[in-house]
Each structure stands twice: as C-alpha cells, then as structure tokens.
Amino acid sequence: MYKPEMNGVVYQIWPRSFKDSNDDGIGDLQGIISKLDYLKDLGITTIWLCPVYVSPNVDYGYDVSDYYNIQPEYGSLSDMDQLIQEAKNRGIGILMDLVANHTSNQHPWFQAALKDPQSKYRDYYIFKQGKNNKEPNNWIGLFGGSAWTKSNQPNEYVLTLFTPNQVDLNWENPEVRQEIYKVMKFWMNKGVAGFRMDVINIIAKTEGHPDKDPHKKGYQFADDLIISLPKSHEYLHEMYAEVLSKYPGLYLGEGMLVNPQSCASYSGFDQKELDMMFHFDLVLIGCGPLGKYDFRKLYRWKPQDFKSIFYKWQEASYKDRFWMGNFLSNHDNGRSVSRFGDEKKYRLPSAKAFIMSTMTAYGTPFIYQGEEIGMTNMKIDEQDWKDFEAISDYKMLQSMMHLPAFIAKKIVQKMTRDNARTIMQWDDGPHAGFSSVKPWFVLNPNHKTINVKHDQQDQDSILNFTKELIAYHQAHSVLQQGSFASTMTSHPQILAYIREDEQEKLLILINLDHKHATFKADNYKEMRTQLCNYSTYGPMVEKMVFRPYEARIVQLVGQMP
C-alpha cells in the first residue's frame, strides 16, 4: 500500500564503523546522535540502523542474543530512546533491523533448548537427527560448509543456514511468531519508524527438510526448498494483521534471490505484506548463480548488463505495482564507486552518476554510509579480515574450488563485506575524525583526501552533489511516484529512462562507462538540464557526446510538431 514515507530517502548506518563518541574505538549510538545534524543537512528522511541488539558479534549483530537490550559497546536503552527522539526532532525516522530468521546460539531460548531436551524452546529451532552418521540433509550453509551444526545430543543437529552460531528459528511454531511480534511491538512502542527485515523471504523451510538434488555429490544450495515459499507469505500476512496494520511505519524486506514475481507478492501495493523489498541482482552483477564468491563469470560485466537488470526491475515494479528499495551498496557488498564506477581516474563523476541512478529510479532510494563521499574499497590484509563470510569462503575457494591461495585472496579482497565496513571517513585526521583512539577496524589511507570535511568545503564534491540530488528528489514528486519508462534501450553505454507525471517529464541520461558516448536525442521542443555531474556542461542538443560517466537529469518540454 502506498505510504508517504516511501517518498523519503533512507541512509543506512552500520553503527560499529560510523562514529565513536566515547573513545573506545568502536562506533556507538551517541556517535550517531552527534551526526544527526550532518544527516539532516544531507536531506535524508529515514535512517536504517543495522542491528544494535545484544550480540556476541560473530556476525556483527546479525546474531542476536537479546532483542530487548542494546549491545553495551553501542550504548544503552536510554541512548536508543535519545537517538529515536533526537532523530524525530529533525524529522528523521529510525528503522531498526529485524533479525528474525535466526537468533544467536547464545540466546536464552537456545540455551534453554540445549539444557533441557523437554524444554518448549526446542521447538523454537530446527533440531533434527543426523542421517547415516552425517548431517540430516545435504544443504549447504550460506556462508559455506554444511547448513547444520551438531547439537549437544548424540547424532543430533540444528539448522544454521548462516554461521554455525546463528540458529534458524522455527517459524512453523506459532509461539516463535508471537515472540517476534512482541519484539516488533516493543520497538514500535518506543517510537521507531519501522523495520528492515533480514532475509525475510527464507523464514519458511520445506516440510521435512528434504535433500536438494540428492543425486548430486556434496552440499547443495537449498534454493527452492527455502526461497520465497508460500508459507513465508502466510507468516507475513499474519505479521501484517498482528503488527504492521496496527503500527503505522515503514516495513522493508531483504529478499535473497528474489525475482519480480516473488517481490510482487511481498511488496505489491495490495498484498498486505511489506512496503518494499530489496533485490541483489545489481550488486551481484558479474557473479555466478551461487552469489558473490561464485567467480565463474570472472566478475566481468558490461554497461548493457547493468541496463538490462535495471530496466527489468524498474519496468516490472512500475507495471506490476510493487515497491522496491533501490541501492548500489550496503554493509554486505562492496562500495558502489569501486563495484560499478572508477575509483581512480573518474571517481568523482562515476560516484555521482551511480548515486543519480539510485536517486532517480522508481522506488525508495538508499544511501549507504560513506557512499555520499565516494568512499572506496580497500585492499585489506588477511590478518585484518573480520568478515565471517569472507574468511569462510576464502577456505572454501581453496578446498572446494581448488583455487591457489593467492587467487582466492584476490577474490576475497574484491568481494569481502569488510570493504563496506572500513571506518567512516569524517576528516583527514589520524583516525579520520571517527575516534580519538585507534579504531576497532582498518581505516582506508585515502581518508586523507576522501572525507566529509573535504567534501563540505568543495562545491563540486560528491557530498554536495548527493545533497543536490536528494533535494531534487524531495522537491519533484515525479521522482517519487512518477511513471517509469525505459528509452534508448539498445544504446551500449547510456542508461536512459523517463519519469513522468502530470507536472513534468524528466529524461535521465547516465553514461555507465569510462569511455565517451554519443547519442542522438529524440525530437523534443526543448531539453533543459536540471542537474549534471560535471561542473561545466553545455546545453542539451540533438546530437551529443557524453563524457566518461556523464550523467544528467533533463526536463523535457513539449514534443516537436
């Protein structure tokens, strides 16, 4: 269903690396509060706050051991109350991250299940007898290895689709569902503006957990045995009835391996489930079907590949009336300027160009911390790696894919989630203004030149262009709820599309390449450039050459006779 909050601009914060307020080298809630004026000035309307619940931090907060309290290193419940209030005072809503597919194995529910096999909490999780002295089935874990972890009973396992420390909740159990709804109401009553829901489309698993392709050797991806099952919709309809319909807010779902059809049922306007979904087809561009560490396509892609994915999702969501959150980087995927643009010669125009694609697309735009200043990936030394997925896949690439270590390392350094978790670069100081002590994680040496303070003082900076884009998006409803139509679809480099409503018609033109691009404009009476990512630019004329990564928002006035 349409909600005004969907017209906003969301800024994603991964708290551990955002801003440290008490000089322990770790980002925290007071640090975020100290940056709310910066975010207000940027023009964002909503913050998606990655998990800050109590957690052993095996997966940095996505392994929750207490949904009702704040991880002490991030602060306290009263800090959270203050953040919610201070943000509200600035017209900014806070979305919490609902991690409901699994809990940490340190959660009291799981600890009780281990202690007493008769405990009611055993049915909160998916315990299963092994088969022929092996795991109950052949499912692969999403971070490598088996999807099952031995419990404390002989020949018994528990489902752990992610790390072995993240135990999948049994959503079949109505008590589990009620527990999650209770958590949601607790935080909504505290004034949060809604939730981003972690891997929400895999909360249902096929009855009996059968093998996937039993004739195949080795572990197999459970795929259609866990992805977007009909029961997941039953659960979300119940969640809608019990929580979402009673607590006005913004509810977005992260969907693993979703497609336009499944998203139409998760975030379709009339579905009574979620307000929007994320897909990962763009951030996984150039990867094989098994995700970011499937290197078999050598991570190669062309502008046309980006265009076809972009058009596929934009046309489907507009035509079939479902809503998406548009993003090009987040805490799980590399920095967008490194992943899609050119972090060296054309860092400025390319960072701006890709932010423009997000800001002008049909759906709600998301900016990830640091994306607004064009922060880049960083070649992180192995001894500094923190990302469980990367460390686990580094071993898998060598053991299962038989890659030599140096190749596996190159792949990890390119795709690791750590790239997105380097310390936020506020200024050129020794710890980039993040803290006055050595931060918990690596800081990109390029913070000397790539930082907020520098960008605030440079009219032509990525930060100032992002600010302009956000202001333009917020001032032009055509970019919020206007129609979407692809155009120039066969052009090899330029991503072009039209957004239109009763007030105006905009043509967005983005050269996705580091090479010049020529094109012939359609026969419009007048084309007025509204925004361009190059500080100097000529007028729009019929036949034009676009510079590397040149991007424009053009207002179209009247058709030629």
Residues interacting with ligand TEU, by CB under 6 A?
Answer: 59, 62, 99, 162, 198-199, 254, 256, 280, 283-284, 291-292, 331-333
Residue 256 near which of ligand TEU, Ca ion, none (CB within 5-8 Å, type-dependent): ligand TEU
CA gap 313, 282 in Å, rounded: 10
Residue 284 near which of ligand TEU, Ca ion, none (CB within 5-8 Å, type-dependent): ligand TEU
Neighbours of 243 (CB within 10 A): 19
Which residue is associated with the tokens 């055993």? 122
> Which among 144, 151, 48, 95 has a CA at the least distance from the CA of 394?
144
Q: How far is the CB of 332 from ligand TEU (least distance, A)?
A: 3
Residue 280 near which of ligand TEU, Ca ion, none (CB within 5-8 Å, type-dependent): ligand TEU
**Three-class SS state of 181:** helix
* Residue 495 near residue 531 (C-beta atoms within 8 A): no
**Which C-beta is closer to ligand TEU: that of 102 or that of 431?**
102
* Residue 48 near residue 196 (C-beta atoms within 8 A): yes
**Which C-beta is closer to ligand TEU: that of 17 or that of 451?**
17
Q: Could you say whether residue 24 binds Ca ion (CB under 5 A)?
A: yes
Number of alpha carbons in the 13 Å side-chain half-sphere of residue 282: 27
Q: How far is the CB of 78 from ligand TEU (least distance, A)?
A: 27
Answer left, alpha or beta for residue 139, where phi above 0 means left and psi between -120 and 50 means alpha: beta
Q: Is 198 a catalytic residue?
A: yes
User: Which long-range contacts link 141-146 to residues 24+ away (Cβ below 8 Å)?
Assistant: 141/219, 142/256, 142/291, 143/388, 143/389, 143/392, 143/393, 144/389, 144/392, 144/393, 144/395, 144/396, 145/219, 145/392, 145/396, 146/219
Q: How far is the CB of 442 from Ca ion (least distance, A)?
A: 17
CA gap 266, 257 in Å, rounded: 13
**Which C-beta is closer to Ca ion: that of 20 or that of 455?**
20
**Which C-beta is closer to ligand TEU: that of 294 or that of 513?**
294
**Which C-beta is closer to ligand TEU: that of 342 or that of 389?**
389
Q: Could you say whether residue 79 binds Ca ion (CB under 5 A)?
A: no
CA gap 83, 193 in Å, rounded: 12
Residue 20 near which of Ca ion, ligand TEU, none (CB within 5-8 Å, type-dependent): Ca ion
**Which C-beta is closer to ligand TEU: that of 191 or that of 291?**
291
Catalytic residue among 198, 273, 372, 513: 198
CA angle 219, 225, 227 (to 5 degrees): 110
Q: Could you say whether residue 20 binds Ca ion (CB under 5 A)?
A: yes
Between the alpha carbon of residue 338 and those of residues 342, 371, 413, 416, the distances in Å are: 6, 10, 12, 12
CA gap 246, 139 in Å, rounded: 37
**Which C-beta is closer to Ca ion: that of 26 or that of 96?**
26
> Per-residue DSSP letters for 154-170?
TTEEEE-SSSTTEEEB-
Catalytic residue among 5, 135, 254, 372: 254
Q: How far is the CB of 333 from ligand TEU (least distance, A)?
A: 5
Stretch that binds Ca ion, among 19-27, 40-48, 259-267, 443-451 (CB under 5 A): 19-27
CA gap 26, 74 in Å, rounded: 8
Find all residues with CB under 8 Å of 21, minimum gap 6, and list them. 28, 30, 31, 33, 34
Number of alpha carbons in the 13 Å side-chain half-sphere of residue 277: 31
* Residue 365 near residue 9 (C-beta atoms within 8 A): yes
CA gap 319, 486 in Å, rounded: 12
Alpha helices (H) along 240-284? 260-267
Q: How far is the CB of 306 from ligand TEU (least distance, A)?
A: 16
Residue 22 near which of Ca ion, ligand TEU, none (CB within 5-8 Å, type-dependent): Ca ion
Direct distance between the N- and C-terminal alpha carbons of the chain, in angstroms, rounded to an integer: 40
**Which C-beta is closer to ligand TEU: that of 180 or that of 463?**
180
Residue 333 near which of ligand TEU, Ca ion, none (CB within 5-8 Å, type-dependent): ligand TEU
Instruction: Choose which of 6, 10, 26, 351 interacts with Ca ion (CB under 5 A).
Output: 26
Q: Could you say whether residue 415 binds Ca ion (CB under 5 A)?
A: no
Q: How far is the CB of 24 from Ca ion (least distance, A)?
A: 4
Provide the mask over 27-46, with x wherever binding to Ca ion is found by CB under 5 A and - wherever it is not: -x------------------
Residue 24 near which of Ca ion, ligand TEU, none (CB within 5-8 Å, type-dependent): Ca ion
Q: How far is the CB of 8 from ligand TEU (least distance, A)?
A: 21
**Which C-beta is closer to ligand TEU: that of 201 or that of 451?**
201
Q: How far is the CB of 101 from ligand TEU (least distance, A)?
A: 7
Q: Is 73 a catalytic residue?
A: no
Q: How far is the CB of 61 from ligand TEU (least distance, A)?
A: 8
Residue 499 near which of ligand TEU, Ca ion, none (CB within 5-8 Å, type-dependent): none
Number of alpha carbons in the 13 Å side-chain half-sphere of residue 87: 28
Q: Could you say whether residue 100 binds Ca ion (CB under 5 A)?
A: no
CA gap 429, 451 in Å, rounded: 10
Residue 26 near which of ligand TEU, Ca ion, none (CB within 5-8 Å, type-dependent): Ca ion
Active-site annotation, residues = 198, 254
Binding region for Ca ion (CB under 5 A): 20, 22, 24, 26, 28
